[in-house]
Structure 1
Amino acid sequence: MSLFQTWLCFVCSHLTSGHKDGDEQRRNSDVREILRRTQFSSVLDIDQPETIPSHDQIFWFGDLNYRLNMLDAEVRKLVAKKQWNDLLSSDQLSKELLSGHVFDGWKEGTITFPPTYKYEINSDRYVGENPKEGEKKRSPAWCDRIIWLGKGIKQLSYRQADMRLSDHRPVSSVFLVEVEVFDHRKLQRALNFTTAAFHPKIFFDEEDEYEL
């Protein structure tokens, strides 16, 4: 979409799941493929950017599925203590944002809420706190994220929603964005001034040198 003269793009994706070694590389590959293959038509507007990166401001959100490279018992202990910074030091997406392997130059706000996955339905307990026979082990992780790229973007809030209908907790964010506004009156005044401006003459001296 465009807002005045600024083009914005919103990408919602569900990347590859999994907590095995190397699964984060599959998620990275998903991101590269989305960026490479997504094309927008410029038939209705010749100024329409044709790729995701060619937009001025981009917001990417959804179940990005990046996990924590940490033993399950340690994750749960830190979650119980609400030591988010210690957990985020092992967060795969945080590492990718720093390394620039994918999402080079992208930003994410400060996380001050519990991991968004994997909860028992209609409960604040994570799956695995009371293990059931045959139940797959899933460590808590911040799977649901919102990141952005572009100038003039300021995040005002980043929080987890109190909704218990899924094994995920959705996240939300509020942004203040600056957009370019084209003022036709100022342009016309500038054009009128340029048209009426005095153009200096070129004077030649006897040695065929010139000065303005």
Structure 2
Amino acid sequence: MAPLSIFLTTWNTGLQGSKAQSQDLTSWLLPVLQSTANDPEMPDGIIPDIYAIGVQELLPVHLALAGLSRPVLAALTARITSLLSAHASSLSPSKAPESYRLVSRVSHVGAALWVFARERTMEGKVGKASTSSLGLWWGGMGNKAAVGVRIPIRRGKEGGWETFTFVNTHLEAHDHNISRRNAQYQNILSSLVFTTSDPLAEPSQIFDTSHLFIMGDLNYRLSKSPPAEYLREGTPSDDILVLEKERVAMFELDTLRREQREGRVFGGLREGDLTRFAPTYKRIVGKIEGYSKKRIPGWTDRILFASHTDPPYLFSPQASLTPTVPPGPHSSTRIITFGSTPELTISDHKPVHAIVSLPEIEHSAPAAHLAPVLPPAPSPHPVRPPPTPKEVLLAWKLLGTFLDRAIGLPWCLIVLLGGGNERTGLGVGAFFAMIWGVWWSGVWSGSA
């Protein structure tokens, strides 16, 4: 089978996912495909075989906690399917109609993940998908969460099975919460597990896969604010060498790479060159340029990945010291393009996207459970934790869901009482509470 191309994208919509339905999503989901359609250096897979789309903060928190995201998810699914299919048809070399189908969708409170497959190249090659979700906040609440999709794909004519695991996550906010983010990542390693209908099969963790892609609002910021003049998208009139020098200086302040280099998080994963675009957070809503002065900026929105064919040096501590490393051999997964989409302005985050190309297979695994898997994390990263017992996971999910609804549903009622205004709703609720208290006191006094 020819090399496999995958389009990955992550976007924190800033609680404005419902507004995304009426936005022009072309710049988000098709940011480079049109401009590269006639580029001879691009692979034949310019129409991606797989799309993996991750979103965080899909809805206002009260609606998400109350479990009321289904209509928005359904509307976005239909919109994305139509957009991808129409664009693929317009670029198809044979001019024949193209289509994408939804392989799997999973959501948890405000985090959602879609995986689509191109019918023309993937028909009959995609096995049954499995999903997993995990609340990462206190008590298992889903205000911060992780969701995952695992898909077996047959890459040879008769065999060559590989497993693909996609994870979308939203980690703890605020500059000082680095250790909390690290702990949430460790929780993902142990508790975002995939199960099958086979009662004898052991639960598998995210690294028990041939290819792993982790994306999301990871919330790692710069260690301090850079000079204000460094924080710009760049224009054709900018000196490219100066712009690159400024971004490399900012990259040296990136706390995720520092934590990764020290062996505390994201062992065995790599990513593209972040200096290709400006930090994606915290942007001014409604503007292409500009940053809020209330937060330290950062490349909070990330896409990291690993493939079983990648050489170890791509994951070494030395590799994480610089934004670029030597390209891997022909047998490794290759980053075709990596960038951001500043044109989308409804959120204080900018989307990030990447296209990666997986080489032709060199194995003939006859079944998905015999597919090659990723190696252990390199030094100085510790051994990955064992899976959390099923009973503990079930209890954690039940508690988290109970807390989500216990907070989300009353919160929705408050907003409803206020006609959509939370503060007004609190006032109306307080007024009714006072009336009820006076009435109850009268009933109690009368009965006495």
TM-score by length of 1: 0.74
Larger mean CA deviation between 28-37 and 89-98 belongs to 89-98
1:75 positional shift: 4.3
Secondary structure class of the residue paired with 1:19: coil
Task: State whether residues 115 and 142 of structure 1, in contact with CA within 8 Å, keep that contact through their aligned partners in structure 2.
Answer: yes
Q: TM-score, normalised by structure 2?
A: 0.36
- Bigger Rg, structure 1 or 2: 1
Structure 1 residues 39-50: aligned runs within 5 Å: 39-43=193-197, 50=204
Deviation of 1:42 (Å): 2.1
Long gaps (5+) in structure 2: 1-150, 155-160, 233-241, 310-331, 367-448
- Structure 1 segments (4+ residues) deviating >4 Å: 44-49
Q: How does 1:33-182 map to 2 (within 5 A)?
A: 33-43=187-197, 50-70=204-224, 72=225, 74-80=226-232, 82=243, 83-111=246-274, 112-123=276-287, 124-128=289-293, 137-150=294-307, 151=309, 152-161=332-341, 162-178=343-359, 180=361, 182=364
Deviation at 1:29, TM superposition (A): 0.6
The alpha-carbon deviation at position 116 of structure 1 amounts to 0.2
Matching residue of 1:16: 172
The answer to whether the Cα contact below 8 Å between 1:7 and 1:55 also exists between their aligned partners in 2 is: yes
For 1:79 and 1:86, how far apart are their aligned partners in 2? 11
The SS at the match of 1:40 is: coil
Q: Is the 8 A contact 2:231 2:290 kept in 1?
A: no
SS for the counterpart of 2:256 is helix
Higher helix share: 2
Which deviations, in whole Å up to 9, do the C-alpha atoms of 1:121-170 show, x marking residues without a partner? 11021112xxxxxxxx1122111010112233211111001311101001
Quote the Cα distance in structure 2 between the aligned partners of 1:3 and 1:60.
Answer: 18
Q: Which runs of no fewer than 5 residues in structure 1 stay unpaired?
A: 129-136, 185-212
Displacement of 1:77: 3.7
CA deviation string 1:95-133 (max 9, x = no partner): 1232221111210111110000111111021112xxxxx
1:7–1:48 Cα change, 3 Å: farther
Deviations 1:40-62 (A, max 9, x none): 11226988972101111100001
Aligned mate of 1:2, from 152, 165, 169:
152
Structure 1 CA distance, aligned partners of 2:365 and 2:180?
A: 46
Identity %: 27
C-alpha distance in 1, partners of 2:291/2:212? 32
Q: Deviations over 1:2-60 (max 9, x none)?
A: 1211101000000000112xx11111111000110011112269889721011111000
